[in-house]
Structures are given as structure tokens and as C-alpha cells.
Amino acid sequence: MKLIKFNTYKEYAIFFWLILICIFGIVVSKIHSTTQIENNIKINSTFNNIYFKKTFKEVTKNLAPRFSYFEYLSKSGDNYQIIINKLDISTDEKKDILSAIKDQKKLNVLKINQKFFFKIDNLYKAKVIEFKIETDKKNEIIFNRSKNNEKFTSKTIKKNFKKNLVYKETIITKSLYSNAIDIGISPNIIIEFARLYGFQIDFQRDIWKDDSFQIIYEEYTNENKEIVDTGEIIFANLILQSEDYQLYKHEYQKNKIDYFDENGKSIKKTLMKTPINGARLSSSFGKRKHPILGYTKMHTGTDFAAPQGTPIMASGDGKVTKAGWCGGGGNCVKIKHNSTYQTVYAHMSKFGSGIKKGVRVKQGQIIGYVGSTGLSTGPHLHYEVIENGRKINSQKLKLPSGKILKGKERKKFEVDKIKIDVLKSNLIAKIN
């Protein structure tokens, strides 16, 4: 073994200090390790202390968000109890909410895709201080805690929607209804369009392939730009064999709105020519061989073949004198319009909402849906017009024209007409 020799004092000193540093490092490391163990023991002891646990819990609770929120969209099979049970709240709290809901008649029936919103206060214990339930696309009921923080108070509020004016046009290649659906027009608007033109147009015989139409109507969207509802038609133009049938919405007196042609003539008449949209005239007024009974008899109405469930409109304002079973006519509705005219609608699959004997209906209101009840070979509407107690041919009925604007009323209409024409040009320019 070869010994290390130090030739000078300097070399001895360096070697000595190296040994001293190593010893110091070992001692410090040992002390730190012992201190760390003691500190860990102290920390564990502190966290296990009951008083500290309680204090720590209160402090961290105050640091957490005070309010939490819960949103839900109802689905098939849900009821209010199932939805409320999803909330992490006390049983008494759930009972309070269900009791508040029960007091609202508009919430008697839970619909699919109904929106719920809950705001929960977590300060001391989970407590719902506010919740909202959507009643329809336009309204919701909001529930708030009263001042004593016990019972809920409620009020119905209207949602904030943006109103847009929409322009659509298309060529009719299949049917007016089908082509309108294809370009995204709401069924509500199509039905209203058909009602307006139902006074002067026979949708089965007057419309040909490659005819066209234009329309401007109101559309409402929510904050997500989703279409939630439609409003009124502002302008419509049905172009049949190159002839324009233009209609302009106009308020001719305070709160009195109607639709007028370009000459200021109202299109409204006592009765509509066609109380159903998109139907095919399958049997006209007069003698015919009955398709079921087999013998020739007088056909006292007009039959319109249409798909099952197609909406049927009241052809004029009036009072329902019957809504029930009419023997061979199946489910039928009878309406008295005035001292001169009555109408009958037969073979319905079902009646419109709220339609029963004694109620008053408006022209164009849905009173039922096409079916095949009674003596019938397929879905269709049997439509009758009764004039002074005698059944007449509805398709040959001549009714007086509506209001004609004159003087100041006509001047006011011309101003509105120009505004709508400018609006139409601007909307078309945006598309192009």
C-alpha cells in the first residue's frame, strides 16, 4: 500500500479542512432529519386536534363559493319528485319546493325538454333560494324565498328574445307546404299563409308546378341564436302563372290589423274558400255514387283528400254549435257564423284544443285534424256550407269583398306599403 505524502504545510492544511467539512455535513444532515420527524409529529398532532379540525372546516367553508347552481332539462319518464331528488338538499327543503310547484296551475303537466334552474346557498347548509321553471318557449315562472326565508313567492316573467325579419322565396315543385318546409319556414307560418290566401285561392286547382311565392315574417331567437317562435307575416306574394297576388300587413285603425292587396283592398271575406292547406279536391258538390253505401245520392259538400292529421281551419268567425259524433260523418264540428251562414267539417281524427259546443272561434283557427272516422274510405275532410238553411256548393260561393281603404286611410297604407317594399329590397340584397 502506497502512503500519501504531504510535502508542505499547505497540503496538510487542505487535507485537514476536507475532513472537517465532511464531518460537519454528516452532523447537519442528522440534525435536519431529526427535526423534520419531530415537525411531522407536531403537524399530525395538530390536525388530529378536534378544535383545530372544527376551525379549519369553518375557514375552508368560507373560502369555497357561497352559491352553487343546478340546471336540468326534463326527459321522458321524469316527474317533479324525480327531478327535485337530484338536488343535494334536505327532505324538508324538497317538500317546500314541491309544494310551491303544486300551487302553479301552469305546471300541472310536466313536459319533455322543460328547463329547470336552481340557485343554492351553501353558507351554512344547502338551501335553495331561487329556482325557475320554463312553462313554454316564451315564459318561465321564477320562485324566490320570502323575507322570512321560509315560503317561496313566485311570478311569471317573459323571456328576452330578439325579433328578426326573415325573407324566403321558392319555386313550387311539389306542393306549397312541402316546398315551404324544405326552405325552413315554420308550419305555423305556412298555415297562416294558407289562411290569408284561402279567401281567393283554391290550393288544389289554382296552383301549378313552377309557380312561386315570396314571404317576409317575424322570427324570434334566444341568446343561443336558436329559433324559439315565429310572429306575424309582414308581406306575402303568391305568383301564379306569372300573376302576382301581393298582400301587405297594415294597421288601418288603432289595434286593428288586416292584410290588403297593392290597391288597398282587404282580402278578408266572411268565409274562406279552402279551410285546409295542401289538400286535393277528391269529390265535389252534387250527385255521386256513394263509395261505401253503393247507391247514387246527393253529395252535399266538398271533399278534400289530405294526410291523416292535417290541420283543419274554421273558415270564418263564429260559434261552435256541435263538436262530437255525427253518425256517418264521424267526428264533426258545426259552426254558426251569422244569421246567414253555417259550416260543417266531418270525418275528423280529433278536435282542436279547446273546441267544444258553445265556444267562439276565429277565422283560420285550428278546429280539428283530418281523419277517416264515420263512413269514410280514407283520410279526408268533408266540408259543407249552409246558406239560409240550404246546403250549397262552397266552391261557387260568391261573397262580398272586404274593406277598401280610402282617403287618409289609403294614404297611410301607401306609406306602409313603400316601407315594406324597401324592407323587401334590403332583405333580398343581404341574401345576394
The CA distance from 361 to 317, in Å, is 6
Q: What is the pLDDT of residue 286?
A: 39
Q: 134 with 106: CB under 8 angstroms?
A: no
The confidence score (pLDDT) of residue 94 equals: 92
- List pLDDT tens digits, range 30-63: 665 555 555 555 555 555 555 555 555 555 555 5
Does an H or E element contain 98, and which?
helix 91-102
Collect all residues with Cβ–Cβ distance below 8 Å to 17 and sequence separation of at least 6.
Answer: none
pLDDT at residue 290 in the model: 36
* Inter-axis angle of helices 9-47 and 50-63, nearest 10: 90
Distances (CA, A) of 36 to 26, 30, 43: 16, 10, 10
Q: What is the pLDDT of residue 282?
A: 39
Longest dimension (CA), the chain: 144
Predicted TM-score of the model (pTM): 0.58
Closest CA to 137 of 72, 71, 218, 227: 227
Phi, psi angles (nearest 5°) of residue 96:
-60, -45
Q: Give residue 288's pLDDT.
A: 37
Using the 8-state DSSP alphabet, how is residue 204 labeled? Answer: T
Kindly state the DSSP code that residue 111 receives in the 8-state scheme. P
| Residues recorded for the chain | 432
- Residue 42, phi then psi, degrees to nearest 5: -65, -40
| pLDDT under 70: residue ranges of the chain | 1-18, 20, 22, 24-64, 124, 126, 147-149, 204-205, 277-300, 400-401
Rounded CA gap, 190 and 164, in Å?
17
State the cell numbers at 302: 266538398
Q: Which residues contact 296 (CB under 8 A, 6 or more apart)?
A: 287, 288, 289, 290
Domains of the chain (ranges, CATH numbers) = 67-158 (3.10.450.350), 160-269+401-432 (3.10.450.350), 280-396 (2.70.70.10)
Q: What is the pLDDT of residue 371?
A: 93
3-state secondary structure of 410: helix
Here the contacts of 58-62 (C-beta below 8 Å, separation 24 or greater) are none
Give the helix/strand (H/E) hosting 430.
Answer: helix 407-431
